Chain A
Amino acid sequence: MIKHLFKMVWNRKRANFLIGVELFLSFLVLCAVLTVCTYFLDNYRRPLGFSYDDVWHIEIAHSTTRGDEEQLKSQILLTLSTLDEIEAAAYVAEVPFGDDFDGVSIFSDDGKRILNRGNWVTDGLGKVLDLEIVDGRWFNREDEGLKGDAVVINEELAKLLFGLESPVGKDIRRWNAELLESRFAGDLAKATTYKVVGVVADFRGDDFAPSTPFVFRRVGLGDDYVPSDLLVRLRPGTKAVFGEKLLARLQSVVQDWRFSITPLSDHRTTNFKLYLSFITIGGFVAGLLIVMVSLGMMGVLWQNVTQRINEIGLRRALGGATRYIAAQFLGELLVVTTISVVFALAIIVQFPLNDAIEFVHREIYLGGIFAAILLMYLLVTICALYPSWLASRVQPAEALHHE
């Protein structure tokens, strides 16, 4: 039966080739959409790793001509600590719900870059974002001597680098041979490592961000570089009007810097809206593409049935049961679909092998592809139902009379 179906498909190879191309392209679209959807859904259900309620973001815009920026920044932090409404404050290089967190990279022992993301932060952040420490401790003044080389990593990175051992007190490679060569002409004495002081459960930048290896790198207030974004945790129940007082206080420290205050939850809403609109637009377009293909496929099959009416009539006259005829039409299409899917899969499997898609876990990717295969066969079957039924209704006498 199946061999016979292949023969039938081969006999009409020119027409089937184009149908195959269409199914091949549709399958690629389905795979892409479903992988992206499962990816986002999977990310969304994971814990964020921090709490954003009662946290405000203060953005500082300042000139770099004065030369005393770092001093003023620690003065601002000092002023904030005198305010009753503020529980904790910290400078961060990148703010959750919007920024990229691609500022820190590290290497494994064999010199391979470990894909990771990170942030430069001051000591207060653990308290501001309510990060959950699972091993070791968060940064404190004792790390000052490490000159910006103390790091807190997340569990995923700990597992990746040290397996089941506790990473606290261990060193992480900051450079590989290549970078070492370009920065310090290979001078090993100048190459420093990061020292792990603690491990947090996880940290994801926003609701749809993946769980990836992550590094918090400590910034001391005396360092050459202090970031310009502040995060502050307010005492629960603090009213929004406190912002006015806060702004006045900040301005009283530095007159000619400008500040803008945004609750972290506002950033989250904006970020959420952005993702949602991308997903909706993408999903809508892809969905309509699939509807278009399905309708087209149905039309083409329908036309096929009218064209092959003689053949059907002959089969019926020789005693072929109606359900066999319907099954033949469906079967032929399924054969073409299978061939297209196999070709498409051959291309798709190249992607994770080539590290083309970095953050997508294998399970997600496979899940997406599996869902796409199921949906593909389901859609094709639905498209073939009506034309196949039509074929099975052909009256032998009428069909043979047709010519």
Chain B
Amino acid sequence: MLKNYIKIAFKVLLRRKFFTFISLFGISFTMIVLIVATSFYDHLFGPFPPEIKLDRTLYVFDLLYRYPQGGMDSADSENLSHYAVERFIRPLEGIEQVSIFQAFAHSHTHYNDQGDKVDSYLKYVDAAFWEIMEFNFVEGAGFTQRDVADAQQVTVINAATRHRLFGDEPAVGRTLKVNRQELRVIGVVDNVSRLRVLAQADIWVPYSIDARFRAQPLRGGQQDMHGPFSAVILATRSSDLLSIKADFRQGLSTLRYPYARPLIIAVDGYAETLFENMSASLFHGLVDDTEREGERFPLLLSGVIMGCALVFMLLPAVNLVNINLSRIMERSSEIGVRKAFGASSQTLVGQFIVENIMLTLLGGVIGFIGALGVLQFVNSIDLIPYAQFQLNLRVFLYGMLMALFFGVFSGVYPAWRMSRLHPVAALQRRKK
């Protein structure tokens, strides 16, 4: 049955080539845009090196300090101190590893031996960072617990920095100067896209070499919760994520914040997945976030993304519906015969939708090839530093899903109209 439908669909496609071209042009163009957008989405949120173990990873970006209603602005967010990590994160159940690092890399200017200006992004991290994140090492390795504990002046750089400083020669063992400190290169990694904000940098250094990052002194007999760090948690199993999230908030709720002024009534924090974290930072400030509930922002972001895709599909879908409708009339004799021989309306609707899905899937495949070209162009002009947009199985599946949806979306109405043709009228309207 399906085979016959496909055969018929193919024959129809070959019948009036101009129309086939118009339909396919619209579908492929729509699919190119959607697939490129999907690839962009995948680049932002998908598991790419170094963030491969995303299904077991949670980020604690900052903590929220809430004030009583009416006093100050309702809440402040601050990064974490060593103490906050040791007390509220490390003891959690089901955790394999915890890394503390500086969430945003700082830009930093220095001058190389030739006197050329070199701008780099610098990030302070610990040793566990290299185990949770799976960087592709070109040479050498990340720093160890020992290096961090002894405040060894070592560094890991990316391939672009190696190229700028040492001209693609092996760099391990050579030194570079950052803030008047001579750092010995112990590893070189592949470039990480600037869009992977939490992992990316040009130069990674152990946090202990900078006085600002060492454990904070006691303040008034109490440990300080504020610090320069964010944390990334690697859970033992991905099924533990929910309980870790809940335990973390539970733990924070037991804290009685020591300072009287400004009065802080509660400390709150969220352990979030990459998607949750990114959506929270995207909508931060745009939406009232005094209650930054874990699920609200991701839902909002997914809604916005899907809404955009739907709105974008609307015009191409109406266009395709119009073309399909006018092509039905061409086939009125065929429909008439089938109805006269007892085909039900549902059968005809099914047939037409299958035909339309065939067409959109074909457009999807063409769209895929087109998207490949577009992405290669985007990668070649270096629109976003180090970003390599790519098509992979995930993007392919999403793309096919969208083509399927588009096929149904634009096929239902013409199919319904077609199934309602009266057999007598349909047979009468014979053409050439």
Contact = CB atoms under 8 A, between A and B. Distances in A.
Interface of A: 15, 18-19, 21-22, 25-26, 29, 59, 61, 63, 65, 182, 240-241, 243-244, 247, 251, 255-256, 258-262, 277, 285, 288-289, 292-293, 295-300, 302-304, 306-307, 402
Most chain-A CB neighbours within 10 Å: which of B26, B30, B432? B26
A292 B70 contact: no
A70 B326 CA distance: 73
B25 interface: yes
29 contacts: A19-B322, A59-B107, A61-B106, A240-B117, A241-B115, A243-B109, A243-B117, A244-B111, A247-B109, A251-B180, A258-B108, A258-B179, A261-B117, A285-B33, A289-B316, A292-B26, A292-B319, A293-B315, A293-B319, A295-B22, A296-B319, A299-B19, A299-B326, A300-B326, A303-B19, A303-B326, A303-B327, A303-B330, A402-B432
Given A256-B179, A296-B319, 4 more contacts: A15-B325, A29-B315, A61-B106, A300-B323
Given A18-B321, A241-B115, A300-B322, A261 B316 contact: no
Contacts of A289: 29, 315-316
Interface string B318-348: 1111110111011000000000000000000
A244 B70 CA distance: 49
Contact of A296 (B70, B108, B322): B322
A295 B318 contact: no
A297 B22 CA distance: 10
Contacts of B295: none
B18 interface: yes
A302 B180 CA distance: 75
A213 B390 CA distance: 44
B212 interface: yes
A294 to B, nearest CB: 10
B228 A299 contact: no
B314 interface: yes
A21 B314 CA distance: 10
B211 interface: yes
A22 B117 contact: no
Interface of B: 18-19, 22, 25-26, 29-30, 33, 70, 106-111, 115, 117, 119, 122, 179-180, 210-212, 216, 228, 314-316, 318-323, 325-327, 329-330, 383, 431-432
Given A18-B322, A299-B326, A244 B315 contact: no
Contacts of A241: 115
Contact of A182 (B70, B106, B216, B325): B70
Contacts, number: 105
Contacts of A256: 179, 210-212
Given A243-B117, A292-B25, A292-B26, A22 B179 contact: no
B60 to A, nearest CB: 21
Contacts of A299: 18-19, 22, 323, 326
A25 B329 contact: no
A15 B327 CA distance: 12
A261 B109 CA distance: 6
Contact of B111 (A243, A288, A303, A307): A243
Given A258-B108, A260-B107, A307 B329 contact: yes
Contacts of A293: 315, 319
Most chain-B CB neighbours within 10 Å: which of A21, A29, A260? A260
Nearest 6 pairs of A and B residues by beta carbon: A303-B326, A296-B319, A260-B109, A244-B111, A260-B107, A292-B26
B329 A292 contact: no
Nearest to B119: A260
A171 to B, nearest CB: 26
A296 B20 CA distance: 11
Contacts of B70: 182
A104 B432 CA distance: 73
A402 B119 CA distance: 76
Contacts of A300: 322-323, 325-326
A279 to B, nearest CB: 13
A112 to B, nearest CB: 22
Most chain-A CB neighbours within 10 Å: which of B115, B212, B319, B322? B319
B318 A22 contact: yes
Contacts of B119: 260, 262
B228 A296 contact: no
Contacts of A21: 318
A289 B314 CA distance: 11
Contacts of B325: 15, 18, 300
